[in-house]
Amino acid sequence: MSTTIDSLFPSNFLKASDLKGQRRTVTIAKVTREKIGKNKELKPIVYFTNVKKGMVLNKTNAERIAFATGARDVAQWPGKKVTLFEDLVDTPQGMMPAIRVMAADDSAPTVDESNEDAFLTEDAEESAFGDDGREPGSDDGIDDRDNPFA
């Protein structure tokens, strides 16, 4: 088995690579503020139902959640569904993958009670969602009956 950068640098919070290139519809459970990082800076964290890791909330994603949910008051966010996806963003270090948020996408796999280990994996090569990471209906020569999201 090969070693990936993600396995060398595990995170307590969601990162773009946890999505494995797929969109995931999640339900917001709560928004907290926690001291994180070396400097123990107080940051907002959004947690999702049945997802083991929270997502550090930046201004862009906070605005996107407010738009998607129709609520600027974070106390109104729990119970609302949003879709997480990976996008490239311009940073001072160059283009980097990041998690972005949009209104719930009914075509995206939903993280629900039947998927207790969403986003959690001990093995960086294994999908955090328990699937093979392929989009259903992809033309890759593999029968979609082997894809649990097909």
d(Cα 111, Cα 129) in Å, to the nearest integer? Answer: 8
Residue 147 and residue 134 in contact, taking contact as beta carbons nearer than 8 Å: yes
Q: Pinpoint the alpha helices (H) of the chain.
A: 5-8, 59-69
pTM: 0.72
Is 148 a residue whose pLDDT tops 90? Answer: no
CA distance 130 to 123: 11
Burial class from Cβ neighbours inside 10 Å (0-12, 13-18, 19+) for residue 139 reads: exposed
- Identify the band that residue 6 occupies on the pLDDT scale cut at 50, 70 and 90: confident
What are the residues facing 27 on neighbouring strands? 81
Model confidence pLDDT, tens digit, residues 97-145:
999 999 997 766 676 655 444 555 455 455 454 455 555 444 555 555 5
Q: Which burial class, exposed, middle or buried, applies to 11 when counting CB atoms under 10 A from its CB (0-12, 13-18, 19+)?
A: exposed
- pLDDT confidence of residue 8: 84
Residues 6+ apart with CB under 8 A from 6: 15, 17, 124
**DSSP E strand boundaries for the chain:** 24-36, 41-48, 55-56, 81-91, 94-103
Could you give the CA distance from residue 90 to residue 145 in angstroms, rounded to a whole number?
Answer: 38
Q: Beta partners for 84?
A: 24, 101
